[in-house]
Structure 1
Amino acid sequence: MAQYADPKKKRHKVYRQFPTVTLAREWLEGEELLVRAYKRGTADWTHPRERDARERARGVLFMDWADEWMDKWGRFKPKSAREPLAPATLRRKRLLLHRVKQVFGMRALEEISVADVNRWLDTCGLDATPKREAYIMLRAIMRCAVQPPDGRPALLDRSPCMAPIPRRVLSDKSLMVEVSAADAARIKSFMPAYTAVSVNVLLAFGLRIGELCALRVDDFDFDRMVVHIRHSIRRGPDDTGELRLAELKTVGSMDALPIPPQLVPVLREHIDRFTDAPRPGAMLLRPAKSRVMSDRTLRTQLEKAAARAGRPDVTPHAFRATAISRIIHEGGEIKDAQLFARHTDPLVTVRFYERTRGEQTRRELSELAYGSMFTAPRSRLELEHEYERAQRELARWADRCRSLHTLLERDTTGVSANG
């Protein structure tokens, strides 16, 4: 039995058993050199047990440790009591893990250097967002190798992921165009008859395309004038292409939205012509050759119709952005737009969907805000500008009154006012 005092914990002893005295003395001589270096401050000292564990861990392949990390920690939500990730999120995370393993999989953990990781960041060829997410995952894997959450000895002395996380790239949603009334009418005219109502529904409720494809006729309550958004389109568990209805990911996404009265006759006409109502569970969009409308098929139809209408820049999600933005432009508060969009975080509504009304409107708002604080006498030029602004507001409201009066006249004569 060979032993010596622990240099970090004076009251503890370090023990090791050997078959011969000679081996015990050789081991003590080697340990004495390590303890002296530690006391001089030239090297750190670790317990022989930890050194032995690291030696046994040498040669562990990245792919083996990455798979263990995913199985034990990666497939659960962060800061949760073992709550699993949503299926779609987990599929995306496994894809990112596959991409990282393609690069580092067959290499031992200790062989992966800082230069290797930096070289991969510079030359991986991934788009900005997947590269950022893959690097975040790689950092998490290496951090767990340095400090395993299950208490085992460390597999690495330090992580090779020293580079900062790439900055988040501004989403394309922030650059998304809006759809005008004229554009919407033209796009609808180029849609197939059995899916033309999609343009009206997207603009009325600000739906995601998967939510639109999952709408059933029973979701529309014309007595209470609300539509229930409960489901979205999901692919098979292995992305087999099989379509199914699945509950929305967040409780905030499951909501009842008010139906605009102008949309009711459009919906009723579509339901009578193109659905299996009153059969229970009849889908709002009934495809010709399957039970559920494919989101990919509907997306292709909308993109082709937008291109034929002269607006190839309009994507299906642009209709959702337009609907949310119009809530604010028509006088709604950010909270109103958040509830309409069914966002759990209002920052998402502000960052991606709120659109400005132009430089002239911002200038007028700035003048009004400043004028409310300082009431100094106004010059003739300022009065002229304010008069012109009031005239424009008056003309806008006069046009609105005339259009409403026209709709009322049509309604009293028995002509449907579809809007």
Structure 2
Amino acid sequence: MRSAFGSIIQRKNRQGYVISLEARYPNPLDPSKRVIKSFPLGAKAVAQHWLDEEKKLVDAHMAGTETWTPPKVREAKKTKAKILFRDYSEQFLDTYRTSDGSKLTEASARKKREAIDHLNDYFGDMMVSEIKQKNVEDWLDGDYVDGVHALRRAYQVLKAIAQKALASNEEEPALLDSDPCQRPNPKLPKSRQSIIPPATQEELGLIYNAMPDYSRIAIYLGAVFGLRISEVCALQVCDIDFAHKLLHVRHALTRGDGDTGTLSFKGTKTESSNEDLPIPDSFTPLIKEHIKAHCESSKTAMLIPAKHSNIMSPNTLRAQFDEAKLAANRPDLHFHTLRATAITTAAQAGGTPKEVQEYGRHASAKISLALYQRATRQGERQLANKVFATLVKPERTRDLIEAEYKETLKQIQELQDKVKNLETELKAME
């Protein structure tokens, strides 16, 4: 049976028996293709009704009053419109991939799971298609998530879920008509770690000496190379290239399913973190002495040996550091402050913003620039004094002369103290 719009034909099996009816008509988006729907035998009237209804949709599309979509998409949309947020969020987590197509690490998956748990407390029993901007803003304004950091992470995940629900193709219709996440991410308070002063040479020495002898080298590895604690614990003897005076940073650490279980190697935090770092000449003897005293002869031996496992746990090293830092009267320090200390010192030593970024192995210049600005700001007074002395010749008053006199005496005393220290060192070597 054929009409001006479409046709209904009989479908036969290989033996030639009629098994069903098939209604079809040209796809209005691509006339070279056909839209097809099967019906049981004896349902010709139903098939014709379907064709009549489809013709109305196509006519409206051609008139520009509606947008035609394939029947499969319409049927899928009706079904998917009933999907609960908690079910959709589970699917989102199961299929989530990073920008390079890889699966999440166990630690990252755990954080996303925590975020989705927060979201499910509010949105879980809502249908995805029903979530509107007002719902999201009520959630953001309510006291549903403890702490701005957790709220921010949960909102970022919600934004990603919304973008997935907004996407559509011929087989998967969009579940949302508009993006409900219109508000910017909640602002984070200034990081407390960002205002912690870097460790001084004297403080690092006190902390180093207060650490267990087999792990104290970690202090200088963190402070000199700016390594993260997981990168320090992942170092092997083979990562130390004495011939070329390079430290190869290739690994960090991870755990098994659910971010639990035995520690194992994983890639560094970012691609830029994977780097060959020059070993300072004066650092080489100290590293060699450590390897000789505390490391196994195997090249794959861990540089920071563990007492009760194959790999030193970052939590164990962090606990040792937290106890040792008290010897320097620096309870405010975190192990990560050693990384900031390295980057800050690189800036104070005259490194350019780009050099500081590369030294810190930051993928983004924003973090390095903040540390660079903090470091160079500490020298602003000295710089201001130099500019003033160059550009301004003040009147030689008594107060000015007395101030210069006191400053000169202070400089002389500092030089005399330095001379005494050098003499003491020389005598100790006789």
Q: Same fold (TM over 0.5)?
A: yes
Q: Which has the larger radius of gyration?
A: 2
Instruction: Tell me the equivalent position of 1:324.
Output: 343
Residue deviations 1:342-362 (CA, integer Å, cap 9, x gap) = 223332211246533566x42
**Does structure 1 retain, via aligned residues, the 8 Å contact 2:343–2:359?**
yes
1:58 aligns with 2:81: yes
Does the alignment pair 1:340 with 2:359? yes
- Residues 84 and 305 (structure 1 numbering): CA distance in 2 closer, same or farther, change over 3 Å? same
Decide which of 248, 257, 270 is 2:290's aligned counterpart: 270
Give yes or no for contact 1:3–1:15 (8 Å, CA) kept in 2: no
Which digits, 9 at most, give the CA deviation of each residue in 1:341-400, with x for residues without a partner?
A: 1223332211246533566x424424655887xx6x733369x97998899799879968
Map of 1:307 onto structure 2: 326
**CA distances 1:38-85 after superposition (whole Å, capped 9, x unpaired):** 99x9xx88779576554333321112322333445x3231xx6x4555
Distance 1:153 1:206, change over 3 A: closer
- Pairwise CA distance, 1:286: 1.4
Q: CA deviation at 1:304?
A: 1.7
Residue 390 to residue 204, structure 1, CA distance change in 2 (3 Å): farther
The correspondence for 1:365, drawn from 372, 378, 383, is 383
Is the 8 Å Cα contact of residues 60 and 108 (structure 1) preserved in structure 2? yes
Q: What amino acid is aligned across from residue 75 of structure 1 in structure 2?
A: R
CA–CA separation in structure 2 for the residues paired with 1:391 and 1:2: 107
Correspondence for 2:12: none
User: What corresponds to 1:163 in structure 2?
Assistant: 183
Structure 2 letter corresponding to 1:282: A
The aligned amino acid for 1:260 is P
Q: Does 1:378 align with 2:393?
A: yes
> CA shift at 1:282, angstroms?
2.2
- 1:269-304 per-residue CA deviation (whole Å, 9 max, x = no partner) reads 33333x234333222221221121111000011012
Q: Which SS does the other structure have where 2:347 is aligned?
A: helix
Q: Tell me, yes or no, if the aligned pair for 1:178 and 1:322 is still in contact at 8 Å.
A: yes
The Cα shift of 1:306 comes to 1.7
The answer to whether the aligner puts 1:175 opposite 2:190 as a matched pair is no
Cross-structure match for 1:245: 265
Shift of 1:138: 1.2
Aligned counterparts of 1:86 and 1:229: Cα–Cα separation in 2: 19
Distance in 2 separating the partners of 1:124 and 1:343: 34
297, 301, 304: which is aligned to 1:282? 301
The normalised TM-score by structure 2 is 0.72
Aligned amino acid, residue 163 of structure 1: R
TM-aligned CA deviation for residue 311 of structure 1: 1.6
1:90 to partner: Cα distance? 4.2
Quote the offset at 1:313 in angstroms: 0.5
Residue pairs, 1:149-228, within 5 angstroms: 152-228=172-248
CA distance in 1, matches of 2:246, 2:408: 32
Q: Distance in 2 between matches of 1:222 and 1:404?
A: 34
- Mark the CA change 1:386 to 1:343 in structure 2 (over 3 Å): closer, same or farther: farther
Which whole-Å CA distance do the structure 2 matches of 1:219 and 1:393 have between them?
Answer: 49
In the TM superposition, what are the counterparts of 1:377-396 in structure 2 within 5 Å?
378-380=393-395
- Structure 1 counterpart of 2:160: 140
Q: Is 2:347–2:375's contact at 8 Å kept on the other side of the alignment?
A: no
Which amino acid is the alignment partner of residue 380 of structure 2?
R
Structure-2 separation of matches of 1:311 and 1:259: 27
- Structure 2: tracts of 5 or more residues without a match: 6-27
Superposition deviation, residue 316 in structure 1:
0.5
Mapped partners of 2:383, 2:84: distance in 1: 62
284-293 or 223-232, which deviates more: 223-232
Moved more, 329-338 or 141-150: 141-150
Alignment check: 8 A CA contact 1:174 1:351 kept: no
- Structure 1 residues 223 and 19, CA gap change in structure 2 (3 angstroms): closer
Identical counterparts, % of pairs: 28
Question: Closer, same or farther in 2 for the Cα pair 1:91/1:396, shift >3 Å?
Answer: farther
Supply the RMSD in Å over aligned alpha carbons: 4.6
CA distance in structure 1 between the aligned counterparts of 2:187 and 2:299, rounded to whole angstroms: 49
The 1-side partners of 2:402 and 2:362 are apart by 40
Distance 1:302 1:215 in 2: 18
For residue 86 of structure 2, what is the amino acid of its counterpart?
M
Specify every segment of 5 or more residues in structure 1 that has no aligned partner in the other structure, as ranges: none
**SS of equivalent to 2:258:** coil
Partners of 2:323 and 2:289 lie apart in 1 by 24
Q: 1:337 to 1:48 in 2, by over 3 A?
A: closer
- Name the amino acid aligned to 2:205: A
1: CA distance, partners of 2:275 / 2:191: 26
Q: How far does residue 15 in structure 1 lie from its aligned partner after superposition?
A: 12
Instruction: Count residues with an aligned counterpart.
Output: 397
* SS of structure 2 residue aligned to 1:256: strand
Q: Choose the corresponding residue for 1:230, options 233, 246, 250.
A: 250
Structure 1 residues 331, 161: closer, same or farther in 2, change over 3 A? closer
Distance 1:261 1:186 in 2: 22
Give, in whole Å, the separation in 2 of the partners of 1:187 and 1:284. Answer: 19
Relative to 1, partners in 2 of residues 1:86 and 1:328: Cα closer, same or farther, differing over 3 Å? Answer: same
Residues 15, 341 of structure 1: alpha-carbon distance in 2 compared, 3 angstrom cutoff: closer
- C-alpha distance in structure 1 between counterparts of 2:319 and 2:170, whole Å: 48
Give yes or no for contact 1:173–1:352 (8 Å, CA) kept in 2. Answer: no
